[in-house]
Amino acid sequence: MKRREFLKASSILAASGLLPALKTVKAQEKQTYYMVTFVSGIDYWKDCYRGMQDAAEFLGVEAIYTGTPENDIIAETRVFEEVAGQQPDGILPTIANPDAFIAPINAAIEAGIPVVCFDADSPLSKRYSFVGTGNYYAGVVAARWLAPLVGSGKVAISSVTAQLNHVQRRQGFIDTLAAEFPGVVTSDDLIIDDQNNSTIAAQQMSSLLQANPDIKGVFATDALGAVGVGQAVREAGLSGQIKIIGFDYDEGTLDLIDSGELSATLAQGTWQMGFWGLMMLYMVRNGFIKSVSDWKAAGISPLPPNVDTGVVVITAENSQYWRAS
């Protein structure tokens, strides 16, 4: 059984066991739930939305994908507010900037619309839960994988500097190098802001390599960053000499792994984020949460504040299982 089919089958089986009898779980009326993203055209969100669609099919509700094509905080908050204005049954957003989303999320919650964040969080908002990667620990995993390949010397970081999940990945990576691999070093001047754009990543990494020809490794905290870093390293004639570990995956990333230009990448539980994110919204919307007699009156969240969907390391040995079937 393919990985994707296994995830769908096992998660639906788990959901069936956790929820009441299926005939009482299926929505008895039309219900509509939205996923809202930024940089909405990238492949990364497709697997998240596929998970949401599978949950929607299981529950008998409608799932709609929307967002903004730019990596633009103002544009995404505007889309979120437009969606909330339609009074949907729940919203599953990923957050371009945590502070910018506090007011829009709080307004939606106060209007009675359940909100669960996925992939990137706004932890100071009133959102009911965050379902996604434990990003700090993902950075720990990246450091423990890359440092032994490098041995000693400088490593660079390609990241999205203002986005919370990327900040957490970087910090986990930096802290782990300092604590466990003192011979492998990084610093602020070895960090580039790739803006989740492969062209920008390639340009900035090329400049960084020229200024620091002794760089031995790179951690890219997003898939497009890894592709751009791979391009810069290739054009510098250093493929295989500079070890690269990426984050997330697409066909381009998998191609680089199979060619040996990328040592590994960390895959998030993207399908799980969409599937369980919608399940959580549905549970709140339909009154299945019975943690206390009245969680609203008690002033508590109906859901666990954080659900970690984990990461796994993709290498040339197992990359075939992440290819689209």
Number of domains, the chain? 2
CATH assignment of the domain containing 126: 3.40.50.2300
Residue 321 falls inside a structural domain = no
Looking at the fold, whether 32 and 120 belong to one and the same domain comes out as yes
**Model pLDDT for residues 105-130, shown as the tens digit of each residue:** 999 999 999 999 999 999 999 999 99
Measured distance CA(155)–CA(212) in Å, rounded? 10
Looking at the fold, whether 23 and 76 belong to one and the same domain comes out as yes
**Model pLDDT for residues 224-276, shown as the tens digit of each residue:** 999 999 999 999 999 999 999 999 988 888 999 999 999 999 999 999 999 99
273 touches 309 (CB < 8 A)? yes
For residue 17, pLDDT beyond 90: no
Number of Cβ atoms within 10 Å of the Cβ of 235: 13
Looking at the fold, whether 68 and 216 belong to one and the same domain comes out as no
Looking at the fold, whether 76 and 124 belong to one and the same domain comes out as yes
274 touches 47 (CB < 8 A)? yes
Residue 317 falls inside a structural domain = no
- For residue 117, the enclosing domain spans 3-133+269-309
Looking at the fold, whether 36 and 84 belong to one and the same domain comes out as yes
Q: Is 62 helix (H, G, I), strand (E, B) or coil?
A: strand
Q: Of the residues 268, 299, 317, which one is the last residue of a structural domain?
A: 268
Residue 316 falls inside a structural domain = no
Q: Of the residues 237, 268, 299, which one is the last residue of a structural domain?
A: 268
Question: How are beta strands 32-38 and 306-308 bridged, if at all?
Answer: unpaired
Looking at the fold, whether 128 and 274 belong to one and the same domain comes out as yes
DSSP H or E segment with residue 118: strand 116-118
Residue 281 falls inside a structural domain = yes
72 touches 96 (CB < 8 A)? yes
Looking at the fold, whether 214 and 103 belong to one and the same domain comes out as no
Q: What local confidence, expressed as pLDDT, does residue 318 receive?
A: 93
52 closest CA partner among 82, 102, 6, 93: 93
Q: Per residue in 277-314, is it b (16+ CB within 10 Å) or e — as a string?
A: bbbbbbbbbbeebeeeeebeeeeeebbeeebebebebb
**pLDDT band of 33, cuts 50, 70, 90:** very high
Looking at the fold, whether 278 and 129 belong to one and the same domain comes out as yes
Q: Supply the mean pLDDT for the chain.
A: 91
Measured distance CA(286)–CA(288) in Å, rounded? 6
**Model pLDDT for residues 56-99, shown as the tens digit of each residue:** 999 999 999 999 998 899 999 999 999 999 999 999 999 989 99
